[in-house]
Amino acid sequence: MSSPLHRIVIKVGTILLTHGGKELNRERMADLVRQIAVIREQGLQVVLVSSGAVAAGANAGVPYPSGKGIPVRQILAAIGQPLLMRTYAELFAPYGVAVAQALFTRTELERDGYLNARNTLLGLLEAGVLPICNENDVVAVAELQQIGDNDTLSALVANLVDADLLAILTDIKGLYTSDPRNNASATHVPVVESITREVENMAGGAGSSASIGGMATKIKAARMATAAGTNVVIGQGTVPDVILAIAAGEQVGTRFASKISRTKSLRDAWMASDLARGHRIIVDAGAASALLKNGRSLLPAGIIAVEGTFSRGDTVEIRAANGDAFACGLVNYPSDDLRKIMGKNSSKIATLLPESFGDEAVHRNNMVFL
């Protein structure tokens, strides 16, 4: 964990953001906001994953239906999400930090949705804006759409933006050998080398009625994130300056070190999923050199052939004219469209296709060299 941090995803749960699951705790939020502003000043890119919409909605002072089922949670989330965002916007404003809202269901985090979300979040970061993510509770109901809890969402978002570190902040110090609230002999675990069955058993069930996830979903999120090359810290959000300490690499909470690099995990995913599918883009020498030597994006102008049938957001292999595969990446256009614009200047895309997804066939942000 010693390499310098560049991009961090911070997840804050309902329990931290509210007074015991009721109305937003503005003082607590202000303190978290201050810390995030400080680490941004230090040069870190930050994405926030924030719960609290349902709790904010329940305490908004508007009449709402009684009951606890999914429809009620959805109504409360619809009422509470703008209140949550307004509070963040107000608290970040004195630091000159603009915030953006990004709401996800499961489908947005797959294939072309993945690419759209990734490009948007990376674009926001490049523009210096702070993305604040939550599940789109208003529409997510069925198993297929629902992510279910924001611990899992935070791991998906960390993957989406290639975060170096995911910090999951909660109301306890991290992982204990058993639940410290009902077991006095429970001891704190500062470092987890690998997430074994024993570690999962330590985590037990859900935390409180106000929040969905407990330690179990946090461990699951840590497993997902570390498997994709992101280090994870589960820390106590009520400890003074905890975000500053985490960003400085100090030992706080429970740390989970990923054993693989992000690049390797992307390459492995590519090898596993798409090598066999024959999704290929063959590029001319000028494009190959622009990609390899100058870190440019792949433009349609440099493409001389497209092989296979693929959709926007699929992984494609990028080959030189002599057949050497030298990169892979997430493609911005489906194969049929790419055949129409290959060899052409990007300024022609708008006239050749009904819809333009930008100048690049494969953006450099979404490319890995082999």
Residue numbers of the site for ligand GLU (CB under 6 A)?
13-14, 51-55, 77, 134-135, 137, 149-150, 211-213
Polymer length in residues for the chain: 370
Please report how the helices 150-160 and 215-227 are oriented relative to each other, as an axis angle in degrees rounded to 10: 10
Cα→Cα distances 244→128, 299, 354, Å: 19, 40, 47
What gap in Å lies between CA 229 and CA 206, rounded to an integer?
26
Residue with smaller CB distance to ligand GLU, 31 or 149: 149
> Rounded to the nearest whole angstrom, what is the least distance from the CB of residue 56 to ligand GLU in the complex?
8
* Beta strands 18-19; 165-170: pairing state: unpaired
Residue with smaller CB distance to ligand GLU, 13 or 329: 13
- Residue 60, phi then psi, degrees to nearest 5: -85, -5
> Rounded to the nearest whole angstrom, what is the least distance from the CB of residue 308 to ligand GLU in the complex?
38
Which of 353, 275, 135, 351 minimizes the C-alpha distance to 332? 353
Q: Which two tokens stand for residue 53?
A: 């919409």
Residue with smaller CB distance to ligand GLU, 209 or 322: 209
Burial of 71 (0-12, 13-18, 19+ CB in 10 A): exposed
Residue with smaller CB distance to ligand GLU, 29 or 266: 29
> Rounded to the nearest whole angstrom, what is the least distance from the CB of residue 147 to ligand GLU in the complex?
9
The CA R_g of the chain, rounded to the nearest whole Å, is 22
> Rounded to the nearest whole angstrom, what is the least distance from the CB of residue 25 to ligand GLU in the complex?
14
Handedness of CA 48, 54, 59, 62 (dihedral sign): positive
Q: Which two tokens stand for residue 160?
A: 């989406």
What gap in Å lies between CA 199 and CA 177, rounded to an integer?
8
> Rounded to the nearest whole angstrom, what is the least distance from the CB of residue 192 to ligand GLU in the complex?
21
Residue with smaller CB distance to ligand GLU, 213 or 300: 213
Residue with smaller CB distance to ligand GLU, 137 or 317: 137
> Rounded to the nearest whole angstrom, what is the least distance from the CB of residue 344 to ligand GLU in the complex?
44
Cα→Cα distances 326→212, 240, 297, 316, 367, Å: 44, 47, 14, 11, 10
Residue with smaller CB distance to ligand GLU, 18 or 315: 18
Residue with smaller CB distance to ligand GLU, 86 or 259: 86
What gap in Å lies between CA 57 and CA 76, rounded to an integer?
4
**How does 185-201 read in b/e, with b if 16+ C-beta sit within 10 Å?**
eeeebeebeebeeebee
Q: Which two tokens stand for residue 345?
A: 């200047």
Q: Which two tokens stand for residue 88?
A: 């963040």
Residue with smaller CB distance to ligand GLU, 154 or 230: 154
